[in-house]
Amino acid sequence: METYDALLASITPDTGETRTILDPATGEPVGEAPVHSVQDLEAAIAAAAAAQPAWAALGHDARSAALLKAADAVERSAEELARLLSREQGKPLNGPNARFEVGACAAWLRVAAGTPLDPETVVDDGETRAELHYRPIGVVGAIGPWNWPMMITVWQIAPALRMGNAVVVKPSEYTPLSVLALAKVLNEELPEGLLTVVSGGRDVGARLAEHPAIGKVMFTGSTATGRAIIKSSADTVKRLTLELGGNDAGIVLPDADPKAIAEGLFWGAFINTGQTCAALKRLYVHDSLYEAVCEELTKVAAAMPMGNGLDENNVLGPLQNRQQYDIVARLVEAARDSGARILLGGNPDTDQPGHFYPATLVADIDNGNPLVAEEQFGPALPIIRYGTVDEAVTMANALDVGLGASVWSPDPARAREVAVRLEAGTVWINKHGAVDPRIPFGGAKQSGYGLEFGVEGLKALGVPQVING
């Protein structure tokens, strides 16, 4: 285990071009990130290709044992990693935030290591025997986001490594330090060259997506960037797993208890200060309990402290960057200008440092309003009134994205009847965004394709091979 200062120093380059990373809560410098080039990427891919065959030859048991040791290494440095994550991304240490994210990294590594994947006998009738196996792909390119930089990187690299691949990671330009530090800790238990982080710009990401030595690209981010990756990968027919933008709907059924569900609704929407792909981003509430839900949700939201993430009392932090802050502010103003009712927030203190936008609840808003129709990716939740369940389902399904959705009711059977009608990769009941490393996760429509987590996630990082005879 290293001190925080030693960990930061270990990822600070001695030579070459660097870029100062600023704390989104204070505007103060966090550290210096390397600015890697396409040439650096080429070197990383060559090293990965050289390291991968020996890693693949170890077999599942030995690779899993290494991943379990890597999980131990993450836990040894957990507090230092969480502090760096809080300073760079902005999320508080407490609540479902920085310490939670680092803990999830260890959990996902352990589940990836422990999930069995045996050859599947497809046919065995006495005359024909066919087995389905999964071989390593080779070198996997992982392109990650800035909202959960450590956790989503582990989502990508843990199954890739377990399946015998090497990985080259391209982190977001907003949060490279967190990913560099995580990789440094993981590499304490991994062979040299197997896992490399290339902290570069868009030119590096574009080359990674098209590189002939990359057999698969895993990407979490915007739908627009996902489309560009699809085009870039076409000439080399790469395998892809894309977890793209979402605008998740939640439907509160008429039999729900507003007080009982208020805190679950809040965290479904405001986890990571709303900066989560599968967060609850538009809430549909039946006429009969609309005002009660608004009232109870406002009580919960008003009690949640926001501020500098290193303050142990806070559970909400700043938006990670000014660009995202401006998007949220624009959408809330569009709602205000349309005559929507601001229940809470909507009044940022522009004199304070950092990208803080207050937790904002907006009622009496039309379903076509930009705050509803566009993904806000921040701490502003529109609450839309509906009269019939058919109307709510139609509105929920109207957009071209479908990452997640939720249904809220004390009657599980009734909730499932509605859930199966929703066009989303995952539909939660009485919760939202609760991902689990054992349960497959992926999007519908333009929220991407391919599954992560569990057995299906492992299969997605292998090449299926049928042995027939």
Express each pLDDT in 165-206 by its tens digit. Answer: 999 999 999 999 999 999 999 999 999 999 999 999 999 999
Residue 394 pLDDT more than 80? yes
Give percent of the chain above pLDDT 90.
Answer: 98
Specify which residues 29 forms β-bridges with.
22
Instruction: Given the residues 88, 173, 210, 243, select the one marked as catalytic.
Output: 243
Q: What is the pLDDT of residues 437-450, one digit of tens each?
A: 999 999 999 999 99
Residue 351 pLDDT more than 90? no
Average pLDDT over the chain reads: 97
Label the pairing between strands 166-170 and 139-143. Answer: parallel
Confidence grade of residue 352 (pLDDT, cut at 50, 70, 90): confident
Q: Residue 286 and residue 354: Cα distance in Å, rounded?
A: 37
Give percent of the chain above pLDDT 70.
Answer: 100
Q: Residue 365 and residue 410: Cα distance in Å, rounded?
A: 26
- In this predicted structure, what is the pLDDT of residue 420? 98
Residue 1 pLDDT more than 90? no
Residue 2 pLDDT more than 90? no
79 is catalytic: no
Which amino acid is located at 43 in the chain?
Answer: A
Check if the beta carbon of residue 308 is closer than 8 Å to that of residue 314.
Answer: yes
Q: What is the mean pLDDT of residues 132-160?
A: 98
Q: What is the pLDDT of residues 13-42, one digit of tens each?
A: 999 999 999 999 999 999 999 999 999 999
Instruction: Given the residues 101, 173, 210, 277, select the one marked as catalytic.
Output: 277
243 is catalytic: yes
- In this predicted structure, what is the pLDDT of residue 304? 98
> SS3 breakdown of the chain: % helix, strand, coil, rounded to 5?
40, 20, 35
Q: What is the pLDDT of residues 262-295, one digit of tens each?
A: 999 999 999 999 999 999 999 999 999 999 999 9
3-state secondary structure of 192: coil
